[in-house]
Amino acid sequence: MSSDKQNNIRVMARQNGIVQPLLTDLYQITMAYAYWKSGKINDTAVFDLFFRTNPFQGEFTVFAGLEECLKFFENFHYSDSDIEYLKETLPPTIEPEFYDYLKDLTCKDIKLSAIEEGSVVFPRVPLLRVEGPLIIAQLLETTLLTLVNFASLMATNAARYRMVAGKNVSLLEFGLRRAQGPDGGLSASKYSYIGGFDGTSNVLAGKMFKIPVRGTHAHSFVTSYGSLADVRSRQLGGRDFLGAALAGRAAAARALAAAPAEASDGELAALVSYAQAFPSGFLALVDTYDVKRYSPRARRNGRAGYNSNCGSNARSIRDLSPARGARGCSTSESTVRSGLLNFCGVAIALNECGYRAVGIRIDSGDLAYLSVLARETFNRVAKELDLPWFSKLTIVASNDINEETILSLNEQGHSIDCFGIGTHLVTCQRQPALGCVYKLVEINGQPRIKLSQDVGKVTIPGHKEAYRLFGADGHALIDLLQRSSEPAPEVGQKVLCRHPFQESKRAYVIPSKVEHLYKVYWNEGRVCVAPKPLSEVRDRVQSSLKTLRQDIKRNLNPTPYKVAVSDNLYNFIHDLWLQNAPIGELF
């Protein structure tokens, strides 16, 4: 084994401590005992792990979680405390020798074949093929499913966000506080990065997975400052930074024909303090205060607001012209009169001290309108004050963003450079589970089929291989399952591809390229193919997605991708079906 491969495997050996043999359903262990009791210790089996339907009403899925499965295989072992717990939990009729058997179990006799992590995959095509002793293969089921199901769902969700956002917009995962517990949060950070996100706010995920960590400050930081007196030091780099920020705010107000008196001094104090702490990474949240708080009329009427969220992301920019926006949306007005004005003042002051501000974050209000307004503000300051770099400041938007929000913002012509996405991403709100299953397809060399009145739940029996056939235009055309005993399809040779259950659906395909989808990743107790670094898996997702036609990937009414079986496998399925299906009686 090469030193590079050894290094990769050593890195991979770090595993979430929760992932262990007892992270399973009780019935796996009770079945294991029943197998053991009936003398099936030497039986061998083949299990397929696959899903039946693509998530999010789409027509593709991204496979993820393989590296964690390999870690699980490497570390599979029942500890003494595990055995003691099982003795306390299982019925007293369990023979003591069974616990001795469990204590010696490892994955040394298991063979795992899988599709490369980060590949686009489709229903019915097994993602994992597990071969080996029946009992150990059965005991792996639940853990493998929990490692693959959420990982693949999360990576798919992230890939969809990446597609709707476009390649020129950055995506940050901000979902830890909304995730399904700490493990869900870590998994979401890891697999959103694989799916195409550029960074995360999750510091532990950054440490564990080498994901870029990004973040700024919250509204609470701004509201913790009440006036300019809260600035403890006026200095930055030996200069009067607070004075420079006040002068910069006044200069920006003149450039924008705005009234600096309406800007919050407490907010300016907060931004000055944050800039003093992070002069090279100053990215400020600018929507903390509602302008009504500073409007003389609002004060007379006794009105005050915080973080006003009027407006809708679905409203068009032309319906929010400056005149109409000023009358109709106080958040928009406050962002200009206070947040943006204070930011500009601090950014100008930083420039005088030899630093460049990064940009702003908007977390409420009409994101399309506000982003355009912010960009126009920056352009005007850049022109009026001869600061060309001002027009290139980054605009980050957050606030409960989902796919539909981004699509709507795209239609409105937003000026957002980066989306921070949390709840809808990490909880996969549109579909909370992928639905992978783990089915026995062969026992002791004999194929097995699961029958159901619901044809969608009928399994494809036997030890199979999977191939991806490409058309003349270079795009993936069809995935083909066939029996492992069949010769592989060849480039330029006609192949009959059949729907597994509908006799009339069939077509000839002459592939321009044939890709065998399976590699052996685990065999004889060791990793055979070292898992790739996360960055390479991330690249694999994008390169794999490029092989699909655009109509398969589109958000609305995508074209289904075809999965077929060979003519030989089709006949095999239906012969076995007839052999196992009971013959009904009419009375």
Shared-domain flag, residues 482 and 355: no
Shared-domain flag, residues 499 and 557: yes
The pLDDT assigned to 201 comes to 98
Q: For residue 334, what pLDDT band results from cuts at 50, 70 and 90?
A: low
507-532, pLDDT tens digit by residue? Answer: 999 999 999 999 999 999 999 999 99
Shared-domain flag, residues 375 and 473: no
- Of the three residues 395, 423, 442, the one that is the final residue of a domain is 395
Q: Is the residue at 403 inside a domain?
A: no
Q: Is the residue at 192 inside a domain?
A: no
Average pLDDT over residues 208-232: 96
The DSSP letter of residue 488 is P
228-267, pLDDT tens digit by residue? Answer: 999 999 999 999 999 999 999 999 999 998 777 789 999 9
Alpha helices in 310-430 (DSSP H): 322-328, 330-334, 341-352, 367-384, 403-412, 423-426
- Of the three residues 339, 369, 395, the one that is the final residue of a domain is 395
The pLDDT assigned to 67 comes to 97
Q: Is the residue at 471 inside a domain?
A: yes
The pLDDT assigned to 583 comes to 84
Q: Is the residue at 255 inside a domain?
A: yes
Q: For residue 309, what pLDDT band results from cuts at 50, 70 and 90?
A: very low
CA–CA distance, 239 with 546 (Å, rounded to integer)? 52
Q: Is the residue at 117 inside a domain?
A: yes
32-76, pLDDT tens digit by residue? Answer: 999 999 999 999 999 999 999 999 999 999 999 999 999 999 999
Q: Is the residue at 202 inside a domain?
A: no
Shared-domain flag, residues 284 and 136: no
Q: For residue 290, what pLDDT band results from cuts at 50, 70 and 90?
A: low
Shared-domain flag, residues 386 and 260: yes
Shared-domain flag, residues 22 and 159: yes
Q: Is the residue at 210 inside a domain?
A: no
Q: Which long-range contacts (CB under 8 A, 24 or more apart) does 36-41 make?
A: 36/98, 36/101, 36/135, 37/95, 37/98, 40/134, 40/135, 41/101, 41/133, 41/135
CA–CA distance, 199 with 202 (Å, rounded to integer)? 9
The pLDDT assigned to 336 comes to 67
- Of the three residues 395, 422, 446, the one that is the final residue of a domain is 395
Shared-domain flag, residues 390 and 485: no
- Neighbouring CB atoms inside 10 A of 550's CB total 10
Average pLDDT over residues 98-102: 98
Shared-domain flag, residues 385 and 306: yes
Nearest Cα neighbor of 61 from 198, 194, 185 is 194
Q: Is the residue at 574 inside a domain?
A: yes
Structure tokens at 183: 């493990």
Dmax (CA) for the chain in angstroms is 99
Q: For position 62, which CATH number holds?
A: 3.20.140.10
What is the rounded average pLDDT for all residues in the chain? 90
Q: What are phi and psi of 128, to 5 degrees?
A: -130, 140
Number of domains making up the chain = 2
445-481, pLDDT tens digit by residue? Answer: 999 999 888 888 999 999 999 999 999 999 999 999 9
The pLDDT assigned to 310 comes to 35
CA–CA distance, 249 with 346 (Å, rounded to integer)? 7
Shared-domain flag, residues 441 and 387: no
The domain in which residue 142 lies consists of 3-163+431-580
More confident residue, 146 or 300: 146
The contacts of residue 406 (CB under 8 Å, 6+ apart) are: 161, 164, 165, 419
CA–CA distance, 170 with 395 (Å, rounded to integer)? 10
Q: What are phi and psi of 297, to 5 degrees?
A: -65, -40
Site of tokens 């058309």: 471
Shared-domain flag, residues 506 and 571: yes
Q: What DSSP letter does each residue of 215-269 carry, written as one string?
A: ----HHHHHT--SGGG-S--EETTEEHHHHHHHHHHHHHHHHT--GGGS-HHHHH
374-411, pLDDT tens digit by residue? Answer: 999 999 999 999 999 999 999 999 999 999 999 999 99
Average pLDDT over residues 570-582: 91
The DSSP letter of residue 456 is G
Site of tokens 């299982």: 90
Shared-domain flag, residues 390 and 260: yes
Shared-domain flag, residues 389 and 437: no
